A and B are shown apart, each in its own frame.
Chain A
Amino acid sequence: MNYLPVEQVINPAAGTVSLAILIFLSLSGYYYMKLAEKGRTFPVRKIRAFEAIEEAVARSVEMGRPVHYTIGYGSIRTAHAPQYTAGLGVLTHVARLAGKYGARLIVTHGVPEAIASIDEIVRDGYFSEGRPELYNPVDNARYLTDVQFAYASSAQAVIIRENAGANIVIGPFWAESLILAEAGTMVGAFQIGGTARDVQIPFFVLVCDYAFIGEEIFAAGAMASGDIPTLASIRGQDVGKLLSIILIVLGLILLPLGVKLATYLMW
């Protein structure tokens, strides 16, 4: 039997090692999901920002103020699509809590492709908790614009004029991250922020009460689903982290011996 050489199977620009890591991570994630389906349970690390969402919603209801939520602006066709997906996942959780506590939820965004999803998520949140009378599509889900600073100023205006009791911002954010967070600070809102855009993470960490750091927004999406096998997939993510730590330590050990591990990982 004749086998094709590796360079005729794998794209040389992509790299064999990165494909191997992708396959390994996918298999480990799948393995843990299957184990969870069979009834195995795993301890999943807690994300404080995720747990704080319930407190934020409940506090807003106590104060008689609305909950503001935003996933950002832009197009879902870009490389930031996973972050919009994560933002919508957490919105599911927030909408259900809004239904449970009877909070007025205001979702602002600038993603035209997500209008239908957001409407459905908010509607589902109120209906599934038996509070359909609180659902008002015009008030609950507001599309602003997909132009950066026009979106930022509109969202800021909503936070301040509506006197938001909680300000939850999760998605891909650019320069507007601090504008949104500072608007929440101005009205004394309970703030939870999260993004996977590394340059914006410090702003949320500094200004918000709780922050999702990087990949935590993806894990939060799984937590929001409440599905045990979906939650178990986070174990696969943790296996990837363990692998990264092993490779970093190995690289540090090999470096004084004159072996640069990073060169081999580029294969």
Chain B
Amino acid sequence: MSVVWRRTIPQLLVAIILVVMTALYFLYIDKTTKATLNYWDGLLINYSIVIAAMAAIVGGVDLARYHVSLIMKREREQIPFSLITIILEVVCVIFAFYALATGVPILTQPQFSWIYLNLQVPTSSAMYSILVFYVASAAYRTFRARNPPALLLLIVGVIVMLGNTSLGFAIWPGFTPLKDWIMTVPNAAGYRPIVIGVGLGTIILGLRLILRKEVTWMGRRD
């Protein structure tokens, strides 16, 4: 594939879309032009949805290929997990073909709903709930008062935790207003520079993309 197809055209497309999107946001546009641009915008979004769907197919093939390779390697501990992954992937593909053949959307098929409600929802909830223990273990390691800044972090952390609970209010009603002050004054003062910095960083990244200087996302160099 030539350099023009692989690098120049994608870079130009990104640069043009960035300039057009910025102009559309900042400039005043009359209703007729806006309607036309909205049509093109909708068309672009539809294209991107199709591209994402095709990319998801590639992802599915990638996933199956990896798990098949693990089964072929006969890694005993991994085989059950790889088998489950492949079987569920095949089942979902069957549901998709069934939807195509019957016209019943996949999300409304009772069998698919059963799998979704009884497998995906509980497992996702389990993963989310595990987060509580991770927060506790990370907090334990972090809140050890090894030096003055860590001690300050510990004190502030305890005040904010107590200020968020009814127990804290029962111990001392002042915890809640103190927590509110910490969150709205020092905490906001710490967060805002980070948010401003992210905005500035995004602008400069956009500039590099428009000038075709940011090319690392494209992969292979020439």
Contact = CB atoms under 8 A, between A and B. Distances in A.
A150 B123 contact: yes
A89 B214 contact: yes
B134 A178 contact: yes
Contact of B55 (A113, A124, A144): A113
Nearest to A110: B59
A52 interface: no
A149 B127 contact: yes
Interface in B30-86: 45, 48, 51-52, 55-56, 58-59, 62-63, 65-66, 69, 78, 81
B107 interface: no
Interface stretch (A38-46, A56-64, A97-105, A200-208): A200-208
Contacts, number: 206
B27 interface: yes
A92 B130 contact: no
A138 interface: yes
A255 B127 CA distance: 48
B28 interface: yes
Contacts of B128: 149, 175
Contacts of A150: 120, 123-124, 127
B170 to A, nearest CB: 28
B52 A10 contact: no
B56 to A, nearest CB: 4
Nearest to B189: A248
Nearest to A6: B28
Interface in B134-171: 134-135, 137-138, 141-142
B110 interface: no
Interface string B183-220: 00000000101111110111111111101011111111
Contact of A196 (B45, B69, B201): B201
B221 A128 contact: yes
Interface in A168-197: 175, 178-179, 181-182, 196
B194 to A, nearest CB: 4
Nearest to A14: B26
Given A179-B131, A241-B197, A115 B204 contact: no
A215 B134 contact: no
Nearest to B196: A244
Interface residues of A, number: 85
Nearest to B81: A157
A128 B221 CA distance: 9
Interface residues of B, number: 61
B219 A142 contact: no
Interface centre among A113, A118, A201 (most CB of B within 10 A): A113
Given A25-B204, A75-B52, A82-B202, A120 B216 contact: no
B5 interface: no
A159 interface: no
B66 A142 contact: yes
A215 B201 contact: yes
A233 B213 contact: yes
A86 B197 CA distance: 14
A14 B213 contact: no
B22 interface: yes
Contacts of B69: 138-139
B52 A77 contact: yes
A18 B45 CA distance: 26
Contact of A237 (B51, B65, B201, B219): B201
Contacts of A161: 78
A219 B214 CA distance: 11
A22 interface: yes
A25 B193 CA distance: 17
A196 B198 CA distance: 6
30 contacts: A11-B29, A22-B203, A33-B213, A82-B201, A82-B205, A84-B217, A85-B205, A85-B209, A115-B59, A121-B219, A121-B220, A123-B219, A124-B219, A128-B221, A144-B63, A145-B63, A175-B131, A182-B134, A196-B198, A198-B194, A207-B142, A215-B194, A216-B201, A217-B201, A218-B198, A218-B202, A222-B208, A230-B208, A237-B200, A244-B200
